[in-house]
A and B are shown apart, each in its own frame.
Chain A
Amino acid sequence: DAGITQSPRHKVTETGTPVTLRCHQTENHRYMYWYRQDPGHGLRLIHYSYGVKDTDKGEVSDGYSVSRSKTEDFLLTLESATSSQTSVYFCAIRSGGTSYEQYFGPGTRLTVT
């Protein structure tokens, strides 16, 4: 398995509280991605990073911010969680160049009450 971990694995939080999810990789891959997966919608890209301090928005970025200060860590922050952000969040990594396959972490199940 690719060396990619996510923390926490499960979290329950209240509406309006800030939440930070962490993705950590040991592969030294250039690209890192945050997705959310919901029934009926599949996997949707929130934000991605193509290098340290280089990030860009995905299709569902509203309400989320990201940071990447080190190659190995990619943080996803919900500044003020809402019930619509209840989902399973997956981080993925990709080495770059002409290698396009993505390797996914185990996911974080977030419930916003």
Chain B
Amino acid sequence: SQKIEQNSEALNIQEGKTATLTCNYTNYSPAYLQWYRQDPGRGPVFLLLIRENEKEKRKERLKVTFDTTLKQSLFHITASQPADSATYLCALGVGGYQKVTFGTGTKLQVIP
């Protein structure tokens, strides 16, 4: 069966450290993968997209890697800050590029 797993429901990290979140998938062949941030009571906000032929993407303190052999994406936040505390969702681009399937998310808490 098809499955998307994000490494853990919750991740606590000390301020200033690098947070690494994992998204693993099985029985999908995504054309792209996205990461979103969601704050409590709000809709998700798009952060980054990486395509199947790309290995790495960066945006400011964020870095995403995509390994289609391992069927895994890693999402890194360097120099983490308490304001980075949120739930982070990965989403696979499937179904002819028109739609995505979301993972259940990882709740990140950055401790001052």
What separation, in Å, do the CA atoms of A78 and B11 have in the docked complex?
Answer: 36
What separation, in Å, do the CA atoms of A50 and B96 have in the docked complex?
Answer: 12
Interface of B is mostly: strand
Map CB proximity to B onto A82-113 as digits: 1 under 8 Å, 0 otherwise: 00000000101000000011111111000000
A43 within 8 A of B: yes
B49 within 8 A of A: yes
What residues of chain A lie closer than 8 Å to B103, measured between beta carbons? Answer: 42
Choose among A50, A58, A104 the residue that contacts B44 (Cβ–Cβ < 8 A).
Answer: A104
Interface of A is mostly: strand
A101 to chain B, nearest CB (A): 4
B53 within 8 A of A: no
A71 to chain B, nearest CB (A): 17
Nearest CB to that of B47 among chain A residues?
A101
What residues of chain B lie closer than 8 Å to A107, measured between beta carbons? Answer: 41-43
What residues of chain A lie closer than 8 Å to B46, measured between beta carbons? Answer: 101-103
What residues of chain B lie closer than 8 Å to A35, measured between beta carbons? Answer: 102
Contact between chains at B102 and A42 (CB < 8 Å): yes
Contact between chains at B98 and A102 (CB < 8 Å): no
Residue in B34, B89, B102 with the greatest tally of chain A CB atoms within 10 Å: B102
Residue pairs across A and B with Cβ atoms less than 8 A apart, 10 shown, are: A41-B104, A42-B89, A45-B100, A100-B100, A102-B44, A103-B46, A104-B43, A105-B43, A107-B42, A107-B43
